[in-house]
Amino acid sequence: MKPLITTSPVSLKAEGEWNADHDALISYSVAKDFPSSTWDWIGLYRVGFRHTNDYVTYAWVKDDEISFSEDCNQVYINADEIPLDGGEFLLCYHCHNLQCLAGISEPFQICPGRMLAEKKEAQEIPESFKPKDLMGFES
């Protein structure tokens, strides 16, 4: 049995370092005969996802587009939508016309955001505020 296609019709790449402290950039290119649509979108997934509905966030390829050319297009994902805890992720291009994933990026790392570190620091209780028992020892 031969595959219908041998290479993905869409190639995707996460540009630069990703974290929740700033917006992120995605570059993608599509094959010349690819039936793209304004309803196509790119989803951000944790590595190991099991279903196409398991996305963390997504960007519409036309609404969130910031640059386009014959060879390469770019869309952005708002910093507020990037996971604070970071981890290993993939980008997947969803084609509305074909109702399938038309491209998957290489895995890439999202670094934990500064807001996560600040939140953890705020949750730490200073020694002077920790309860002591009646004898003056920490409990």
Q: Would you list the domain boundaries of the chain?
A: 10-112
Phi, psi of 93 (to 5 degrees): -95, 120
pLDDT number for residue 131: 57
How far is Cα of residue 113 from the mean position of the Cα atoms in its chain? 13
Pairing of strands 108-111, 18-19: parallel
CA pseudo-torsion sign 89, 39, 37, 72: negative
Q: Distance between CA atoms of 131 and 63, rounded to whole angstroms?
A: 53
pLDDT number for residue 22: 92
Q: How many secondary structure helices (H) and strands (E) does the chain include? A: 1, 10
pLDDT number for residue 62: 84
pLDDT in tens, 52-103: 999 999 999 987 667 667 779 999 999 999 999 999 999 999 999 999 999 9
Topology at the third CATH level for domain 10-112 = Immunoglobulin-like (2.60.40)
pLDDT number for residue 71: 79
Q: How confident is the model at residue 135 (pLDDT cuts 50, 70, 90)?
A: low
Question: Is this structure's pTM higher than 0.85?
Answer: no
